[in-house]
Amino acid sequence: MADNEFERRRQTVAAQLAERKLDGFLVSFSPNLRYLTGFTGSNGNLLLLPGEAILFTDPRYQIQAAQEVTCSVHISKGPLVPDIMAAVAKRRLRRIGYEPARMTCDTLDSLQGRLPMKSTLAPVNGWVEGLRMVKSADEIGLIRRSVETNSRAFESAVTKVRPGMKEQDLAAELEYRMRRLGAEKPSFETIVAGGARSALPHAQPTAARLATGQLVVVDMGALQDGYCSDMTRMLFLGTPTAKVKRAYRAVLEAQLAGVDAVRPGVSTARVDAAARNVLKAYGLAEAFVHSTGHGLGLEIHEPPRIGKKDKTKLAPGMAITIEPGVYIEGFGGIRIEDTVVVTETGCEILTPTPKTLRII
């Protein structure tokens, strides 16, 4: 990411301080901190002011912060809060925004305990998250790379699948391969679940062995250069029954309908409805127990949500997943998920992996 991109983002936030009646904004949530500075350390706070930004961190990150960020850096020998509040007092800042959804009660207590007499703290929610929804060209490039790594890891690991393989061994294989291909780590805990367990939308891989006659769900994502990917594909060991084929067709049609509905100006609820209506026509509406998708970027789940009641209007540059699924107790589950980017005219599916049911 170009350094001036971080500066541009800070300027965007700083330019909105006055209309929010804030003298400063304290950013403590690490994905927001990374978005605004490029800092990847685990302990940091950014005090953003009109015309000035100060990153507070501790000596462990002195060298790293100097390499990663272009704003001023303050190294605190102890806890960060006293130094942040000293900066607030020195500049006579009155109203400081903070991120209540992203802060512990302990930190808030500590901030309030050291707040200068005439200063107040003002809760601000979703501000940076809102800016993060629309990705820059550089960010889309990073998401694309993460998606490609993820798909390559899937392709190379899937050749190892045989009846008798443990779910957790396949998960390990997928994660090993994504790392070998350049990922820092998985973007969430890899899901591999066979047979009836595939009906658990967030199944954790177990020592259970995959067996002939089973549906297997693989939901995986890479984290590469800080950016997430997310994909779900289905395997079948043996010959699928008519019931499996029908349910697979239903989910695939729903997924394609969801992708088809993605274009600028459309509400995320309409995308959700497009996928949901297909499953309804198949009599599977009740089996679709989650929303159709979510935004992703620095976090695996970030705004917007693609759900029944979500009113966000899609805009070019948003990166989202489209992932309808059906879950039937005792039978199994089927989900198909791609990562897509909203374009000027519709969307681009980033995920290159074919969406056919993999027969093994």
> C-alpha dihedral over 325, 253, 260, 292, to 10 degrees?
-10
Q: Pick the closer one to Zn ion by CB: 167 or 337.
A: 337
**Shortest approach of Zn ion to residue 111 CB, angstroms?**
34
Q: Pick the closer one to Zn ion by CB: 30 or 150.
A: 150
C-alpha–C-alpha distance, residues 38 and 78, integer Å = 23
**Shortest approach of Zn ion to residue 27 CB, angstroms?**
26
**Shortest approach of Zn ion to residue 116 CB, angstroms?**
44
Of the residues 173, 219, 299, 310, which one makes contact with Zn ion according to CB under 5 A: 219
CA 195 to chain centre: 28
Q: Pick the closer one to Zn ion by CB: 119 or 321.
A: 321
Backbone angles phi, psi at 250, to 5 degrees: -60, -45
167 binds Zn ion (CB under 5 A): no
Q: Pick the closer one to Zn ion by CB: 201 or 213.
A: 201
Q: Pick the closer one to Zn ion by CB: 161 or 340.
A: 340
Instruction: Name the one range near Zn ion by CB under 5 A: 159-167, 217-225, 257-265, 307-315.
Output: 217-225
57 binds Zn ion (CB under 5 A): no
Q: Of 299, 348, 341, nearest to 320 (Cα)?
A: 341
Using alpha carbons, list the distances in angstroms from residue 35 to 7, 9, 58, 131, 335: 10, 8, 19, 10, 31
Q: Pick the closer one to Zn ion by CB: 167 or 219.
A: 219
Cβ–Cβ < 8 Å for 285, 276? yes
Q: Pick the closer one to Zn ion by CB: 232 or 268.
A: 232
Long-range Cβ pairs for the range 78-84 (8 Å, 24+): 79/110, 80/43, 80/44, 80/45, 80/56, 81/107, 81/110, 81/111, 81/114, 82/114, 83/56, 84/26, 84/45, 84/47, 84/56, 84/111
**Shortest approach of Zn ion to residue 321 CB, angstroms?**
4
**Shortest approach of Zn ion to residue 187 CB, angstroms?**
9
Q: Pick the closer one to Zn ion by CB: 129 or 230.
A: 230
Q: Pick the closer one to Zn ion by CB: 10 or 233.
A: 233
C-alpha–C-alpha distance, residues 262 and 123, integer Å = 33
Strands 231-236 and 358-359, how do they pair?
parallel
Binding map of Zn ion across residues 307-336, x = CB under 5 A, - = no contact: --------------x---------------
**Shortest approach of Zn ion to residue 114 CB, angstroms?**
40
Q: Pick the closer one to Zn ion by CB: 26 or 158.
A: 158
Binding map of Zn ion across residues 252-271, x = CB under 5 A, - = no contact: --------------------
Cα-based angle 291, 326, 323 (whole degrees, multiple of 5): 45
**Shortest approach of Zn ion to residue 222 CB, angstroms?**
11
Binding map of Zn ion across residues 173-212, x = CB under 5 A, - = no contact: ----------------------------------------
The string of DSSP letters for 266-320 reads -BHHHHHHHHHHHHHHTT-GGG--S-SEEE-SSSSSEEEEESTT--PBP-TTBEE
Q: Of 121, 102, 93, 96, nearest to 28 (Cα)?
A: 102
**Shortest approach of Zn ion to residue 138 CB, angstroms?**
23
**Shortest approach of Zn ion to residue 232 CB, angstroms?**
5
**Shortest approach of Zn ion to residue 267 CB, angstroms?**
19
Of the residues 99, 230, 272, 302, which one makes contact with Zn ion according to CB under 5 A: 230
Cβ–Cβ < 8 Å for 171, 179? no
Instruction: Name the one range near Zn ion by CB under 5 A: 102-110, 117-125, 141-149, 219-227.
Output: 219-227
Q: Of 260, 317, 265, nearest to 292 (Cα)?
A: 260
Interface with Zn ion by CB under 5 A: which residues? 219, 230, 232, 321, 337
